[in-house]
C-alpha cells in the first residue's frame, strides 16, 4: 500500500488455514485492500485499511499456518512478521469447533513473548451445535488475553472485535499471556540456554525464552541467528548439552516439546470448555465400521466392484451392440462406392473394421469411468484405499503406491509417471514394475469382449475374476520382487476419510468424459495406425487363409510357444499387435476373420474356433503379458533401460507361466 499507511497502527491477523480469517479480514477492511507478495517469496500478502471511530489501522493478513516452525515458507513469513515486532496487535483467529489444534498456534504465538494478542473465537455457532459450551471470562483469565466470540459469516461479534483491537492498539488493554510450562529437564535446559543468551544483543530484540526453546528443537533459522552472536565453539557446547537432554528422552526435543505443549493446552481447555451430550455414532461411522473392516471391507470391495461391472455390462452391452451395428452399416454402405479392391479392403476391413471393433467399446469405457467417478465422489474410494493399503502393506508395498495403482485402472502410462510422487527409490521401482499388471481401460475392452462372447451368463463374474487374479498377481509380484530384487524400507501413510456424499451428476459426467475422451483420441491415432498395419500384414503377399500372409507367418513362428497355453497363431498375432495398444488384440481378430466391425459375427467365429477355457486364458494373458509400447517407454523414461527390460522380461515370464498353468489345470478339470 502507499505511503499513506505509514504511521498507522498495524493489526496482524494470524490463524490456521480455513478458520474464517479471510472473512474477518474482508469484514474489517471492506474494499480498501491491496494484494501483493511478501518480499522475496511467492506467498500472497494481503493488506487493508480498517476504520473505527474515525481512526485508521493497517490490517495485515498473515499466511494461515498450524504452527510457527521453520519447515514451510508461509510459516516463516508469519513467524518473522510477529518476531520482528511489526504488529501493534495480533488478532489470532481461532476456530472454536477445532479448538485444540488452533490453540496450539496460539501457544506458539504467546511463547514468542507477544503481549498484545486478541483471540477472535470464530465459528462459535458450529462449536455450539457440536455441544461445546465456552466460559469466555474464564478463557480470558486462563489465557491472559482478550477473547471475542465471533461468527464472521453473520458478522456477529465483529463490532466488539474492532473495539477491542482499537483499545489494545492504544495500550488501553494490556494482556498478561500464559506460556506453556514443560518438564523439569526441559525447563532446566531452557534456563541454561537463556542464561548463555542473556549476555548477547539478542536480548534487546527477541524473547530469550522463545530463542532457547527453538534452539532445543534445533530450529535451523534460530541456530543460524544465534551462531552470529555466540560463535561456533559456544554453539557446539550448547548443542552438546541439548544432545544430552535428547538422550534422556530418547528422541528429538521438537516432538517432546510439541507433545508437552499439546498436553498443556489439553489441561487448560478443561477449565473453560465443556462438552455436552454424548458423541453420537453417525451413519457414516456405522458404514465405515463395515467398509474399512479388515475382513468385511475386502468382501465389500469385491461386492462393490462386482456391482460396478454388472452396471457397466447391463447398461453398456446393448449400446455397444448397437454401435457395432452402426459401424457395420457404415462399412457396408461405403464398400460399393470404392471400385479398387485393395483400397476397399484397406478402408472397409482395415480402417473401419479395426477401429470400429475397438470404438464400439466406447460405451463400456465411458460407463466404467462414470462408475469410478461415482465411487470417488461418494467418498467410497478413500475407504477402498484404506482396505487396499492394509493388503498392500502385507505385500511390502508402501501405502502411497495406492495412487499409481488407482491411476493404472485408467491407463498405465500416467500411473507409471505418478510413481514420481514416491520419494523412496525402492518403492518407486517396485510400484513401477507391478503397475502394468493392473488392468487398464484398454485391457478392459479385451476382457469385456471375451467375457461377453464366451460367458454371457456370468460375464461380470468372469471380468471381476480376471481383475482379481491380475491384482493378486501384482501383489504377489511385489512380495517377490521386494524380497529378491529391490530391498528397502516401507513408508506408511494415513487417510483422512471424507464424509459420504451423494455425487453431483455434472461433476461425474465431466470427469468421466475427461478420462474417456483419451480412449477416442487413441482410436483415431495408435489404433488406426495399428489397424492399417494389421490389414497390410494380413493381405500381403497373399490374402490370409493360404498360409502365405506375413501375419500367418508371424503367428506360426510364435504358435509353438502359445500352443502351450492353448492359443493358436491368430491369438499369437493378436498378442503381438496388442503390444502397440491392447485394444488391437480384438481389432486384429476382426481383421483376421474378415468381419471387422461386426462384433456379433466376430464373437460367433471366435466361439467356433476357441473353447471358453482358451478365451479365459487369452483374456488373462492379454492382461498380464508385455506392457504396451507407451507403458514400456514410460518405465524406461522413469526408471531407465534396466528396469524397462526387467518389466518386459518379468511380465512375459509371468504371463507365460500363468497361461500354461491355467490352461493345463483347466484341461485336467475337464473344462
Partner 1 sequence: MKMGKLEETLRLIKEGVSNSKEIARRMDISVEEVEGIIKILESMGYIEKVEFGSPACESCPLKKICPGSCIHFKGEIYQLRKSNEYK
Write out the binding residues for partner 1, residues 256-285 only, by CB under 8 A.
Answer: 258-260, 262-263, 266, 279, 285
Examine residue 666 and tell whether it contacts partner 1 (CB under 8 A): no
Closest approach of partner 1 to the CB of residue 616, in Å: 29
Binding test (CB under 8 A) with partner 1, winner from 32, 390, 553, 563:
390
Dist. CA 454–CA 463, nearest whole Å: 11
Binding test (CB under 8 A) with partner 1, winner from 30, 34, 55, 71:
71
Q: Which stretch binds partner 1 (CB under 8 A): 165-173, 303-311, 401-409, 443-451?
A: 401-409
Site track 14-33 with partner 1 (rule: CB under 8 A), x = hit: --x-----------------
Examine residue 407 and tell whether it contacts partner 1 (CB under 8 A): yes
Residues numbered 91 to 120 that lie near partner 1 (CB under 8 A) are 97-98, 100-102, 104
Residues numbered 504 to 523 that lie near partner 1 (CB under 8 A) are 511, 514-515, 518, 521
Closest approach of partner 1 to the CB of residue 362, in Å: 15
Residues 6+ apart with CB under 8 A from 63: 38, 43, 44, 74, 75, 77, 78
Closest approach of partner 1 to the CB of residue 494, in Å: 5
Dist. CA 251–CA 366, nearest whole Å: 52
| CB-based contact 88:58 (threshold 8 Å) | no
The CA-to-CA distance between both ends of the chain, in Å, stands at 81
Binding test (CB under 8 A) with partner 1, winner from 8, 72, 315, 351:
72
Q: Which stretch binds partner 1 (CB under 8 A): 68-76, 188-196, 206-214, 581-589?
A: 68-76
Dist. CA 350–CA 342, nearest whole Å: 10
Closest approach of partner 1 to the CB of residue 101, in Å: 3
Q: Which stretch binds partner 1 (CB under 8 A): 28-36, 416-424, 536-544, 608-616?
A: 416-424
From the list 229, 527, 507, the residue with the least C-alpha distance to 354 is 527
Dist. CA 514–CA 492, nearest whole Å: 31
Closest approach of partner 1 to the CB of residue 378, in Å: 8
Residues numbered 634 to 653 that lie near partner 1 (CB under 8 A) are 634
Closest approach of partner 1 to the CB of residue 45, in Å: 20
Examine residue 605 and tell whether it contacts partner 1 (CB under 8 A): no
Examine residue 69 and tell whether it contacts partner 1 (CB under 8 A): yes
Examine residue 382 and tell whether it contacts partner 1 (CB under 8 A): yes
Residues numbered 222 to 261 that lie near partner 1 (CB under 8 A) are 249-252, 254-255, 258-260
Nearer to partner 1, 63 or 566 (CB): 63
| Residue 447 in grid coordinates | 476382457
| CB-based contact 375:384 (threshold 8 Å) | yes
Binding test (CB under 8 A) with partner 1, winner from 393, 553, 563, 636:
393
Residues numbered 282 to 321 that lie near partner 1 (CB under 8 A) are 285, 288, 292
Angstrom CA distances, 373 to 297, 369, 390, 470, 597, stand at 20, 6, 23, 22, 30
Q: Tell me the three state secondary structure of residue 543.
A: coil
Binding test (CB under 8 A) with partner 1, winner from 85, 231, 414, 640:
414
Binding test (CB under 8 A) with partner 1, winner from 320, 386, 448, 622:
386
Closest approach of partner 1 to the CB of residue 180, in Å: 13
Closest approach of partner 1 to the CB of residue 301, in Å: 14
Sign of the alpha-carbon torsion through 117, 123, 129, 130: negative
| CB-based contact 460:313 (threshold 8 Å) | yes
Examine residue 126 and tell whether it contacts partner 1 (CB under 8 A): no
Length of the chain: 671
| CB-based contact 331:576 (threshold 8 Å) | no
Examine residue 334 and tell whether it contacts partner 1 (CB under 8 A): no
Examine residue 559 and tell whether it contacts partner 1 (CB under 8 A): no
Examine residue 187 and tell whether it contacts partner 1 (CB under 8 A): no
Examine residue 88 and tell whether it contacts partner 1 (CB under 8 A): no
Residues 6+ apart with CB under 8 A from 306: 460, 461, 464
Binding residues with partner 1: total (CB under 8 A):
72
Dist. CA 160–CA 5, nearest whole Å: 24
Examine residue 221 and tell whether it contacts partner 1 (CB under 8 A): no
| Backbone φ, ψ for residue 25 (5° rounding) | -60, -45
Closest approach of partner 1 to the CB of residue 416, in Å: 10
Residues numbered 516 to 555 that lie near partner 1 (CB under 8 A) are 518, 521
Binding test (CB under 8 A) with partner 1, winner from 331, 410, 439, 659:
410
Residues 6+ apart with CB under 8 A from 658: 469, 473, 620, 621, 624
Closest approach of partner 1 to the CB of residue 490, in Å: 9
Angstrom CA distances, 375 to 89, 384, 503, stand at 48, 9, 8
Dist. CA 195–CA 345, nearest whole Å: 92
Task: Judge residue 578's burial from the number of C-beta atoms within 10 Å of its C-beta, 0-12 exposed, 13-18 middle, 19 or more buried.
Answer: buried
Residues 6+ apart with CB under 8 A from 230: 196, 197, 200, 238
From the list 98, 124, 19, 96, the residue with the least C-alpha distance to 64 is 19
Amino acid at each position: 500500500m502507499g505511503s499513506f499507511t505509514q504511521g498507522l497502527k498495524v493489526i496482524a491477523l494470524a490463524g490456521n488455514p480455513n478458520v474464517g480469517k479471510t472473512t474477518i479480514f474482508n469484514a474489517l477492511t471492506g474494499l480498501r485492500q491491496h494484494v501483493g507478495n511478501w518480499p522475496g517469496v511467492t506467498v500472497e500478502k494481503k493488506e487493508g485499511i480498517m476504520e473505527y471511530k474515525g481512526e485508521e489501522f493497517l490490517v495485515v493478513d498473515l499466511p494461515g499456518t498450524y504452527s510457527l516452525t521453520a519447515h514451510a515458507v508461509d510459516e516463516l513469513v508469519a513467524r518473522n512478521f510477529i518476531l520482528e515486532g511489526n504488529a501493534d496487535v495480533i488478532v489470532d483467529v481461532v476456530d472454536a469447533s477445532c479448538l485444540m489444534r488452533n490453540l496450539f498456534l496460539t501457544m506458539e504465538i504467546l511463547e514468542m513473548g507477544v503481549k498484545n494478542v486478541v483471540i477472535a473465537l470464530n465459528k462459535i455457532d458450529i462449536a455450539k451445535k457440536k455441544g461445546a459450551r465456552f466460559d469466555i471470562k474464564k478463557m480470558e483469565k486462563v489465557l491472559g488475553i482478550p477473547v471475542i466470540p465471533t461468527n464472521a459469516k453473520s458478522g456477529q461479534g465483529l463490532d466488539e472485535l474492532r473495539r477491542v483491537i482499537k483499545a489494545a492498539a492504544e495500550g488501553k488493554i494490556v494482556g498478561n499471556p500464559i506460556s506453556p510450562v514443560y518438564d523439569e529437564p526441559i525447563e532446566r535446559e531452557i534456563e541454561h540456554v537463556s542464561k548463555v543468551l542473556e549476555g548477547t544483543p539478542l536480548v534487546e530484540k527477541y524473547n530469550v525464552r522463545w530463542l532457547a526453546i527453538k534452539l532445543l528443537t534445533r530450529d535451523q533459522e534460530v541456530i543460524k541467528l544465534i551462531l552470529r552472536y555466540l560463535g561456533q565453539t559456544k554453539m557446539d557446547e550448547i548443542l552438546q548439552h541439548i544432545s544430552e537432554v535428547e538422550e534422556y528422552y530418547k528422541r528429538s526435543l521438537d516432538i517432546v516439546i510439541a507433545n508437552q505443549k499439546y498436553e498443556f493446552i489439553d489441561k487448560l481447555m478443561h477449565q473453560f470448555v465443556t462438552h455436552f451430550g454424548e458423541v453420537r455414532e453417525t451413519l457414516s461411522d456405522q458404514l465405515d465400521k463395515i467398509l474399512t473392516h479388515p475382513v468385511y471391507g475386502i468382501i465389500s470391495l469385491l461386492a462393490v466392484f462386482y456391482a460396478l461391472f454388472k452396471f457397466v455390462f447391463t447398461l453398456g452391452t446393448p449400446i455397444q451392440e448397437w454401435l457395432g451395428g452402426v459401424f457395420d452399416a457404415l462399412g457396408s454402405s461405403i464398400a460399393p462406392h470404392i471400385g479398387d479392391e485393395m483400397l476397399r479392403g484397406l478402408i472397409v476391413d482395415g480402417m473401419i473394421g479395426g477401429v470400429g471393433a475397438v470404438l464400439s467399446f466406447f460405451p463400456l469405457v465411458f460407463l466404467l469411468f462414470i462408475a469410478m467417478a461415482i465411487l470417488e465422489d461418494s467418498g467410497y474410494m478413500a475407504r477402498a484405499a484404506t482396505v487396499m493399503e492394509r493388503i498392500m502393506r502385507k505385500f511390502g508395498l508402501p501405502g502411497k503406491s495406492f495412487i499409481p495403482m488407482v491411476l493404472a485402472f485408467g491407463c498405465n502410462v500416467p500411473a507409471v509417471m505418478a510413481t514420481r510422487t514416491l520419494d523412496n527409490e525402492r518403492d518407486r521401482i517396485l510400484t513401477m514394475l507391478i503397475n502394468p499388471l493392473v488392468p487398464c481401460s484398454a485391457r478392459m475392452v479385451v476382457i469385456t469382449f471375451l467375457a461377453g462372447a464366451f460367458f454371457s451368463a456370468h460375464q461380470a463374474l468372469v471380468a471381476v475374476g480376471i481383475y482379481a487374479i491380475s491384482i493378486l498377481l501384482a501383489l504377489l509380484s511385489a512380495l517377490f520382487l521386494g524380497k529378491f530384487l529391490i530391498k528397502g524400507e516401507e513408508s506408511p501413510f494415513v487417510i483422512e476419510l471424507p464424509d459420504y456424499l451423494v455425487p453431483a451428476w455434472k461433476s461425474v459426467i465431466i470427469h468421466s468424459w475427461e478420462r474417456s475422451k483419451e480412449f477416442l483420441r487413441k482410436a483415431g491415432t495408435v489404433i488406426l495406425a495399428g489397424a492399417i498395419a494389421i490389414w497390410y500384414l494380413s493381405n500381403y503377399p497373399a490374402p490370409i487363409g493360404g498360409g502365405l500372409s506375413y501375419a500367418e507367418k508371424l503367428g506360426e513362428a510364435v504358435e509353438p510357444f502359445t500352443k502351450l497355453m492353448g492359443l493358436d497363431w491368430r491369438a499369437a498375432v493378436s498378442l503381438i499387435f496388442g503390444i502397440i495398444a491392447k485394444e488391437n488384440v480384438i481389432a486384429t481378430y476382426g481383421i483376421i476373420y474378415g468381419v471387422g466391425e461386426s462384433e456379433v459375427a466376430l464373437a460367433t467365429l471366435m466361439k467356433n474356433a476357441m473353447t471358453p477355457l482358451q478365451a479365459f486364458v487369452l483374456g488373462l494373458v492379454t492382461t498380464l503379458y508385455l506392457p504396451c509400447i507407451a507403458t514400456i517407454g514410460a518405465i524406461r523414461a522413469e526408471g531407465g533401460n534396466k528396469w524397462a527390460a526387467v518389466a518386459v522380461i518379468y511380465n512375459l515370464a509371468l504371463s507365460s507361466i500363468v497361461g500354461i498353468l491355467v490352461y493345463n489345470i483347466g484341461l485336467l478339470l475337464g473344462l
